[in-house]
Structure 1
Amino acid sequence: MKIKIIIADDNSFIREGLKIILNTYEEFEVLDTLNDGKEAVDYCKNNEVDVALLDVRMPHMNGVEATKIISEETKTKPMILTTFDDDEYILDAIKNGAKGYLLKNNEPERIRDAIRSVYNGNSIIQDIVLEKIKSNLLETKETETKIDPTLFTTRERDIMSLIAKGYSNKEISKQLFISEGTVANYITSILGKTGLEHRTQIAIYFITGKVD
């Protein structure tokens, strides 16, 4: 069964070019190309779409606003594909439920792999984008956090702090002398308590104390 995709971008050259590229992969079916976020939202509400590729800056409704509605009101997985790596867009898109944030200057194979991964339930944040988030988080005092200390155990807070610093599960396990499986269990517990969906959101939440 093919992965059903829509592309929303106000640049017709880009969206039609991307459609041609993605249609060369047998696993994809590009259902439609759309001009803005509003059209993408309406399409996802009325059709079965697996992954919605959304630009950030679009008229009528931008990609971040569309991501929030699509994430909350449909089964479609929204994914940002843009030329913009502005901090505000990145954080807002992730908070609003984006399952991926990728820049358009990637090779087609990288975009293909990201779409496939998002479809399979993973969250994909491009390295350069993630590094930007991490650098901003690290500018905040390492001990400073606004989370409710009564909601989490000491170990959970330690893990959240390390996630905010960009540590992988493997690195966290070495730092805290526990197994990777135990780290994964703690992360599952943290996600359950907060309603968040992935580690990048945990990092943001640890610093801001806000889920959305």
Structure 2
Amino acid sequence: MKIIIADDNSFIREGMKIILSTYGDFEVLATVNDGQEAVDFCKNNEVDVALLDVRMPNMNGVEATKFIAEHTSCKPMILTTFDDDQYIFDAIKNGAKGYLLKNTEPERIRDAIKSVYHGNTVMQEVVLDKLKSNIDGSKKAETKIDASLFTEREMGIMALIAKGYSNKSIAKQLFISEGTVANYITSVLGKTGLEHRTQIAIYYLTGSLE
């Protein structure tokens, strides 16, 4: 797996390079100082996964995520010290395939990169908790989306996704099969142009596809 690391702290990015290079699965092609350098490298080279910090000069990690996701085959993944709600929302909406904090154990970072490489989306527990906290404690999830675009069943499934329910839990809650849940999710993704269920949760909570 070909990786780049973007972080304006040279100690962190070089340290991460050393750690990841000890795993035979990874080849760290480059370490760069900011989001713009990450974008430029991904445009001109074949990169599988880009590890991006959030706060960087010239172009931050959230902005770089959007460009990399839209214009390259590379999968952007946030690795940062910041778990600010807006950073999380924006990164996921912009196409981030993962959001982890730097204090995560190296083995978990390794496993997350591999999972993202294989097409999955990886969110650390604290990040998922941030998403779910928007509606925790409320009897009904408030949504800002136009309900007329979706069937009543699709709206119900999106609400449960926003609450953090798995497909299996949704199926049990609604007395339908997991395959039927998956079909409804596919329908929602098709109507919205979103790519995965975490983005559905963000969309349901914020009403924004941008």
Shorter-chain TM band: over 0.9
* Aligned residue in 2 for 1:147: 145
Task: Give RMSD over aligned pairs.
Answer: 1.3
Alignment of 1:103-118 (within 5 A): 103-118=101-116
* Aligned residue in 2 for 1:37: 35
Q: Percent identity?
A: 78
TM-score, normalised on structure 1? 0.95
Greater Cα offset, 56-65 or 131-140: 131-140
How far the C-alpha of 1:141 sits from its partner, in A, is: 7.0
Greater Cα offset, 145-154 or 135-144: 135-144
Deviating runs (4+, > 3 A) in structure 1? Answer: 137-141
Gaps of 5+ in 1: none
Map Cα deviations across residues 55-83 of structure 1 (whole Å, 9 max, x no partner): 00111111011111111111110000001
Map Cα deviations across residues 158-211 of structure 1 (whole Å, 9 max, x no partner): 101111111111111111001111111111111111111111111111122211
Equivalent of 1:25, from 16, 23, 44? 23
Matched residue SS, 2:77: strand
Matched residue SS, 2:144: coil
* Aligned residue in 1 for 2:191: 193
Equivalent of 1:68, from 66, 69, 72? 66
Instruction: Give 1:115's aligned amino acid.
Output: I
Instruction: Give 1:86's aligned amino acid.
Output: D
Distance 1:40 1:27 in 2: 21
Matched residue SS, 2:8: coil
TM-score, normalised on structure 2? 0.96
How far the C-alpha of 1:139 sits from its partner, in A, is: 6.5
* Aligned residue in 2 for 1:161: 159
- The size of the alignment, in residue pairs, is 210
Matched residue SS, 2:180: helix
Distance 1:61 1:145 in 2: 31
Alignment of 1:110-149 (within 5 A): 110-138=108-136, 142-149=140-147
